[in-house]
Amino acid sequence: MTGNVTIIGLGLIGGSLGLALKRGGDGIHITGFDRSYATADEAYRRGIIDTVAPSVKAACENADFIIFATPVNTTVALMEEAAEWTLKDGVIISDTGSTKNPIMRTAKVLIDKGVTFIGGHPMAGSHKSGIAAAKGHLFENAYYILTPSSNERAEQLDRLSGLLKPTKGKIVVLDAAEHDRMTAIVSHFPHIIASSLVGRLADQEKQQPFVKNLAAGGFRDLTRIASADPTMWRDITIQNRSELLDQLNGWLLEMESIRAMIVENNPDQIYDFFADAKKFRDHLPSTFEGAIQGALYMTFDLHIDIPDHPGVISEITKILADEQISITNIRIVETRTDVYGILVVSFQTADDRKAARAILSKATEYSMHIL
């Protein structure tokens, strides 16, 4: 694949995309623009981009591919401006936003002018943000959703898919409405639930301050996603409002049913409720078993039962360091009624976790438990 690629927005996603596309060969020239010159300069110094553009418009004028790696609201505004720009014949424009309906509605102006627009959403992320966190392998084995318009030519879709091949993401083509509905179910709505659970804990803590200490186990893991960027999730909630209201209405009906079950207090019914949930949950794809990363960014955790003696944590970290396995976090769990293991070690990728499990399993004094 050869051509001029422009990436607008050089944060975690845009920077990682630049690094990934560089693996496609010397025929790709990447022009980048970011509203922060320091960010654009760092991207240039790291070799993520080949040219720093002075403006968004200038960055796009000679591009064969334009990718907006900006927040959805910013992308929508830029696309409206792009309708007045002089763009190269045959240019393909895409984005990386997590909601697609607002993007595809705005894209109609471009499409009506003969410009190819294919929505995109790489379902990958990190616990860190910004250009400093950019990694060329960020999208590997993650779903990379493309949402073309209904009359888009297969040739153009193939061109964009070919450009994205070096990301090693799993390209999936979906309708924009389908995408937003499914991400509402498995990503957007769970964020609302997690945040509401944290809100309940905050309310209870006023009367029972110690309850926060007991939340350091399973509750902390269950609500991990509530630590995400509130500005981003404000925008996603507004952008995917209709689908989220549908999910919320269904959730309220489910909660009424569960409330009735608890009031009735039938042991068999209560057992079936938990058993059915366990059965379905146990058959979900596991990232540990090599499944593709889904809609929620997940840390890759290894839960380890360890003996209580001085130096045991440093022994574990030394074993991992000797094998060049990087960790992103390490913590001791004090509330373990609903989690496995005393020590939780987090990794950047499923491969790192798999390698860590293999090497630590050879140390017979440790036993591994994967949630």
Question: How many whole angstroms separate alpha carbon 77 and alpha carbon 38?
Answer: 23
Question: How many whole angstroms separate alpha carbon 356 and alpha carbon 323?
Answer: 8
Q: In the chain, how long is the greatest CA-to-CA distance?
A: 69
Check residue 301 and give its pLDDT: 79
Check residue 217 and give its pLDDT: 67
CA distances to 81, 308, 313, 319, 343 from 365, rounded to whole Å, are: 62, 11, 13, 13, 14
Helix, strand, or coil (residue 91): coil
Assign domain 179-287 one CATH number from 1.10.3720.10, 3.40.50.300, 1.10.3660.10, 2.60.120.10.
1.10.3660.10
Number of Cβ atoms within 10 Å of the Cβ of 204: 13
Regarding the domain delimited by 299-369, which CATH topology (the fold level of the hierarchy) does it fall under?
Alpha-Beta Plaits (3.30.70)
pTM of the shown model: 0.77
CA atoms within 13 A of residue 169's CA, in its CB half-sphere: 28
Q: φ and ψ at 6, to 5 degrees?
A: -115, 130
Helix, strand, or coil (residue 268): helix
Instruction: Delimit the CATH 3.30.70.260 region(s) of the chain.
Output: 299-369
Assign domain 3-174 one CATH number from 3.90.226.10, 3.30.450.40, 1.20.120.430, 3.40.50.720.
3.40.50.720
Question: Residue 171 pairs with which residues in a beta bridge?
Answer: 144
CB of 125 closer than 8 Å to CB of 170: no
Given the DSSP bridges, would you call strands 51-52 and 143-148 parallel, antiparallel or unpaired? unpaired
CB of 206 closer than 8 Å to CB of 177: no
Check residue 314 and give its pLDDT: 85
Instruction: Delimit the CATH 3.40.50.720 region(s) of the chain.
Output: 3-174
Check residue 290 and give its pLDDT: 47
Given the DSSP bridges, would you call strands 3-8 and 28-33 parallel, antiparallel or unpaired? parallel
Check residue 366 and give its pLDDT: 52
Q: φ and ψ at 28, to 5 degrees?
A: -95, 125
Check residue 288 and give its pLDDT: 43
Helix, strand, or coil (residue 180): helix
Angle at 111 between CA 179 and CA 68, to 5 degrees: 60
DSSP letter assigned to residue 49: -
Check residue 110 and give its pLDDT: 94
Low-confidence ranges of the chain (pLDDT < 50): 287-291, 335-340, 367-371
- Both tokens of 320, joined, read 């991992």
- Both tokens of 233, joined, read 């999730």
Instruction: Delimit the CATH 1.10.3660.10 region(s) of the chain.
Output: 179-287
- Both tokens of 264, joined, read 């009735």
